[in-house]
Structure 1
């Protein structure tokens, strides 16, 4: 079955991609807004806003997954897009920091509910099993490409406009996403008992806890979050205050990390055909630990210049790709076919839980105590996660060969051996 020949899936996938890029561009613009409101304390504001985001994802996403079968799903998805579009439209109008927290909480609650609802709709539209697996892959690739391209698109846009106009564009994107959802036929779900719904939502987490390689993936989530938080939270303050850069420079430095991820993602398909996913992911963890350690060392020595920052940020991007890209294949190789959606839902929640731990360190500690103590703490967390992954994921568990696509062109019928790629 040709996946993108299905009109309803094609429209829903386009809606998801547009919403993903809207969220990514909003994150870049939010960092600049935080700097406008708080100056050098922007890291504190951004760290708090992103912590609120993670709380919403960790708490609301499982609840939405448990009870989405009781809702009119198309109407619900449209409502979530409209809410996000309205919030983004209001962001450039605010004048107080606490307004950011309220609006971001509302927006991320909508985003946290959108993903599991979208995932629950797909199997009702894509009924062929192999096509459904490719649909999961396409969704995951879209998440990866958003994390890579959003900073680049933001940098280009900021060369011609202020960040408040960037908010306006992303708001229009969410409304376009809502229109695409409206144009698709979304079947109503058959309601199930509350207990069974909750059991279904938590089944993936129970699988993670009892499967050695998935426990290793949980530990690697912490490594990715520890290193990634330095880039996501502290780039705006470091570039604007530490390096004296412009708004566009912030986006380009974020793009340096995304470029590292892209280069690694392009190289990985050949590597994963010959090397185990465990080896690749542990190598990525080592790169991330090295990247965070280098950031602390260069900062302390006063050598974290434009060039030094770009190199370290790019290395962190490479490490994140090495860990994240094979994750989908590891998940699919660890559970029965019918349990794949639950495993991906669990990874969604557990990965965001790791970011919930690291965002406050980067934002709050980085503002109150300085980058050196914050980044040192994050480097220790990354190291602890890497060691835990080595211990939790036995070497003999990682011998499966995995291949990974780096393009969402997944429509050709084939034996399903591909993995998913992911980002945040």
Structure 2
């Protein structure tokens, strides 16, 4: 409670929550917009748009983290929110596919700069080390909860309105985020200890490459991205074309994945008190590999093997929920692993490196899910993604030896 007693932090956290939910609504709406513009080729459009997003995150986030000390941070955050609100408001009016790519590039460039700036502000407002680690965890929990609630809200909204109105909700969310940030007292940053952008980014990446458990996290990022891309990129075309579903059905199917995330998140705190984080994360990786393989059998076998279309709907929702749960098992303990692996002074750099490296994994899997899915079909595409998930899982086991888990338990308990 001491954390949320800090007025400026409350404002920033509320701004993050609203911004996250706005982004979640836009993700659902973007998939439906891609289907309206491209029909059966929607996977290609969505995969390309999300690839643009990942390129922006991988390239711009480290630059923003390195150079933010040269800018007035509060004004910069407000400007980024206003830019994002304007870009999202323009999306419902696009008539050409290339318009989508340009606007998504602008939107995600602003988002890629917003996230590291927001993360850099937190230690300036939350001075206590314990509260700071809790603030990082709260941000991670907010991102996890958004994956559940945004699709549910979108599904409910789509029962009454056209998907284009979801963009309006997103734009309003960004503007409200800016209004919350405006009265917040955010001190300008001190100069960075590193000479340049890439020096700062490289510091965190070097830590990842030289620390066994962080190398394991790096491999687990690939597992999450491979399985998650099946859900995020393929759901629109799969539900609309293979299952014959509606716009609202797309939202509910995405919500099934979020429901799995929520159920896992509810039980994880107690589990992590008794079970090593490594074991939990490896179990999550195994779950994702198995669920991805099951998704392949879903699309390859067809409705006859699943007791007709109704059985296929139920089977898909179940697999999507398992993928959501598996992602939570891997992602939720990651913050504690990062904090327990380095000295307090290096925590921001390692979090920034994880931000870029995890998005690099999505940069690999999004084009596969989108482009190959349209060109070669779901069976081959999902088989390749399931294989990548398996490669990542095996890599995590080899790179993160079991012997590392036991000495970290005390550190993780203190960091949690």
Q: TM-score, normalised by structure 2?
A: 0.95
SS across alignment from 2:14: helix
Match of 1:357 in 2: 364
Residue 202 of structure 1 deviates from its aligned partner by: 2.6
Match of 1:90 in 2: 90
Gapped runs of 5+ residues in structure 2? 307-311
Query: Taking structure 1 as reference, are residues 196 and 48 closer, same or farther at Cα in structure 2, changes over 3 Å only?
Result: closer
Tell me which of 325, 330, 334 is aligned to 2:332.
325
Query: Taking structure 1 as reference, are residues 403 and 254 closer, same or farther at Cα in structure 2, changes over 3 Å only?
Result: farther
Q: Residues 303-322 of structure 1: matches in 2 within 5 Å?
A: 303=303, 305-322=312-329
- Find out whether 1:156 has 2:156 as its counterpart: yes
Question: Are 1:53 and 1:108, in contact at CA under 8 Å, matched by a contact in 2?
Answer: yes
Residue 198 of structure 1 deviates from its aligned partner by: 4.2
Question: Are 2:133 and 2:415, in contact at CA under 8 Å, matched by a contact in 1?
Answer: no
Structure 1 distance, partners of 2:233, 2:324, is 15
Match of 1:347 in 2: 354
Match of 2:70 in 1: 70
Question: Are 1:272 and 1:403, in contact at CA under 8 Å, matched by a contact in 2?
Answer: no
Deviations 1:261-304 (A, max 9, x none): 11111111111111111111111111111011111112111147
Structure 1 distance, partners of 2:160, 2:297, is 36
Moved more, 327-336 or 213-222: 327-336
Q: Residues 273-312 of structure 1: matches in 2 within 5 Å?
A: 273-303=273-303, 305-312=312-319
Structure 1 distance, partners of 2:171, 2:50, is 19
Q: Which of the pair is proportionally richer in helix?
A: 2
Moved more, 77-86 or 337-346: 337-346
Moved more, 126-135 or 72-81: 126-135
Q: How many residues align?
A: 408
Match of 2:125 in 1: 125
- Find out whether 1:395 has 2:402 as its counterpart: yes
Match of 1:409 in 2: none
Q: Residues 150-189 of structure 1: matches in 2 within 5 Å?
A: 150-189=150-189
Match of 1:235 in 2: 235
SS across alignment from 1:100: helix
Residue 122 of structure 1 deviates from its aligned partner by: 1.2
Residue 391 of structure 1 deviates from its aligned partner by: 0.5
Residue 401 of structure 1 deviates from its aligned partner by: 3.3
Residue 170 of structure 1 deviates from its aligned partner by: 1.0
Residue 309 of structure 1 deviates from its aligned partner by: 0.6
Residue 403 of structure 1 deviates from its aligned partner by: 10
CA RMSD of aligned residues (A): 1.6
Structure 2 distance, partners of 1:84, 1:252, is 26
Question: Are 2:43 and 2:371, in contact at CA under 8 Å, matched by a contact in 1?
Answer: yes
Residue 417 of structure 1 deviates from its aligned partner by: 3.6
Question: Are 1:273 and 1:402, in contact at CA under 8 Å, matched by a contact in 2?
Answer: no
Structure 2 distance, partners of 1:225, 1:182, is 35
Tell me which of 316, 333, 338 is aligned to 2:345.
338
Question: Are 1:273 and 1:401, in contact at CA under 8 Å, matched by a contact in 2?
Answer: no
Residue 326 of structure 1 deviates from its aligned partner by: 1.1
- Find out whether 1:59 has 2:59 as its counterpart: yes
Match of 1:101 in 2: 101
Structure 2 distance, partners of 1:121, 1:401, is 29
Structure 2 distance, partners of 1:2, 1:198, is 36
Match of 2:309 in 1: none
Structure 2 distance, partners of 1:165, 1:355, is 28
Moved more, 310-319 or 229-238: 310-319
Residue 192 of structure 1 deviates from its aligned partner by: 4.1
Residue 228 of structure 1 deviates from its aligned partner by: 0.3
Question: Are 2:224 and 2:330, in contact at CA under 8 Å, matched by a contact in 1?
Answer: yes
Residue 16 of structure 1 deviates from its aligned partner by: 1.2
Structure 2 distance, partners of 1:363, 1:403, is 40
Match of 1:366 in 2: 373
Query: Taking structure 1 as reference, are residues 77 and 199 closer, same or farther at Cα in structure 2, changes over 3 Å only?
Result: same
Structure 1 distance, partners of 2:167, 2:411, is 37
Q: TM-score, normalised by structure 1?
A: 0.93
Structure 2 distance, partners of 1:416, 1:89, is 44
Structure 1 distance, partners of 2:336, 2:192, is 30
Residue 199 of structure 1 deviates from its aligned partner by: 2.8
Gapped runs of 5+ residues in structure 1? 405-414, 419-424
Match of 1:259 in 2: 259
